[in-house]
Amino acid sequence: MSGRAVALAATLAAALGAVPAMSAEISIKSTPIDLYRGQQPGAKIDALIWRGGLELNATDPNFGGLSDLTFVGAENRILTVTDRGRFVSMSLIYDELGIISAVTGGEITRIVNSKGNPLPNRFSSDAEALETIYRDGKPAAVRVGFENLTRVADFELVNGQPGGRAREVVIPRWLSSDRSNNSIEAVCIAPPASPVAGSTIILTEGIPAKGGFAGVMLGKADQGSLTLARIDGMNPTACAFAPDGDLYVLGRGISLFGFTMQVRRIEANDVQPDTVLGGTIVLKGMGGDVDNMEGLAISEGPLGDTRLTLVSDNNFFDWQRTIMLQFSLPGPTVTD
């Protein structure tokens, strides 16, 4: 980008209330994970195709607690949020078979408030949900959901990085008044193919509703309450829409063998306000195959496939891992 273009981008960002945030480079070590439920990449696991994974480590004390992720542009660039008020970004690298093999270009940035100041304490810094906002088909901003000091805020993207001041998104009072870690856990925005295109879905982790977990749909034409049905005792931790409008929800639980995990698919036409969202389980995991799985993003993969990328939150504990797992939706069967 030319110097003139950079200056113009900065001017536009300032006009939108987004000052480029100060980011620091971070070295992230990635160790490949070859097996999932004893299967090599390329194997079908439940209804999905296993595409490999990584265990991530860094010496920076602010790395960890990755609660959600989203894709923010070209070069397989992803952005994550942490329990301690940081954005962590990196780029994914694939091998010649389309298997995730490493990450590069790590950066870490402090999340700030509406005045441009760093979030003051742990209570205000617990970011749990993240989604990309598109304008004219391009990533333009990100939407972040917080628990404890429950709120939703948007941050403009400047050269692919979140830029500066938070802009509050109005949410129902019953949600914002819940000042606990039972509140916002998942935020996702319906794509153009969805019957509720442009609407924001917010799911809570522990606010009860009849038969499940309380949620809400925010949109110009589609607004109302939602309930995510409880399945197998799992609590929702993330959501993401596929390009066709189907909604995928990541769930987490605990068993005698450690953490458990499931991903369910909810058909596009079933995602409506004032409904109970059920769905079909498309992936399960437990024990050493998973960890505290909290983040989910959906993107186009290197093979032209639709990829589900999952990430775990290690809560900054040495005995937990930060792992990233990838699966793809099965494509059409090719016959002669």
Q: What are phi and psi of 56, to 5 degrees?
A: -110, 140
Q: Tell me the sheet residues that pair with 214.
A: 227
Q: Phi-psi bin for 237: left (phi > 0), alpha (psi -120 to 50), beta?
A: alpha
Q: Does 2 map to a domain?
A: no
Length of the chain: 336
User: Does some domain include residue 53?
Assistant: yes
For residue 251, is it within any domain?
yes
Asked whether the beta carbons of 201 and 184 are under 8 A apart, the reply is no
**Structure confidence at residue 255 (pLDDT):** 85
**Is there a domain that residue 308 lies in?**
yes
Rounded to whole angstroms, the Cα distance separating 178 from 180 reads: 6
Judge whether 312 and 285 are in contact, CB under 8 Å: no
Distance, CA of 205 to CA of 147 (rounded, Å): 10
| Structural domain containing residue 201 | 23-32+41-328
What per-residue confidence (pLDDT) applies to 257?
79
Question: What single-letter amino acid sits at 111?
Answer: I
> pTM of the predicted model, to two decimals?
0.92
First-to-last alpha carbon distance for the chain, in angstroms, is 47
Q: Say which residues have a Cβ less than 8 Å from residue 335's Cβ, sequence separation at least 6.
A: none
Kindly state whether residue 17 falls inside one of the protein's structural domains.
no
Per-residue pLDDT, 21 = 57
pLDDT in tens, 267-299: 999 999 999 999 999 999 999 999 999 999 999
The answer to the question of residue 7 being in a domain is no
How many structural domains comprise the chain? 1
46 SS3 class? coil
How many Å apart are CA 142 and CA 197, to the nearest integer? 17
Is there a domain that residue 14 lies in?
no
- Close Cβ partners of 174 (under 8 Å, ≥ 6 residues apart): none
Predicted confidence at residue 332, as pLDDT, reads 58
The two three-digit tokens of residue 74, written as one number: 């070209």
- Which of 213, 156, 219, 157 shows the shortest CA–CA distance to 184? 213
Which of left, alpha, beta for 70 (phi over 0: left; psi -120 to 50: alpha)? beta
Tell me if 333 is assigned to some domain.
Answer: no
Question: Tell me, what CATH number does 60's domain have?
Answer: 2.115.10
Q: What pLDDT is stored for residue 5 in this prediction?
A: 40
pLDDT beneath 50: ranges in the chain: 1-20, 333-336
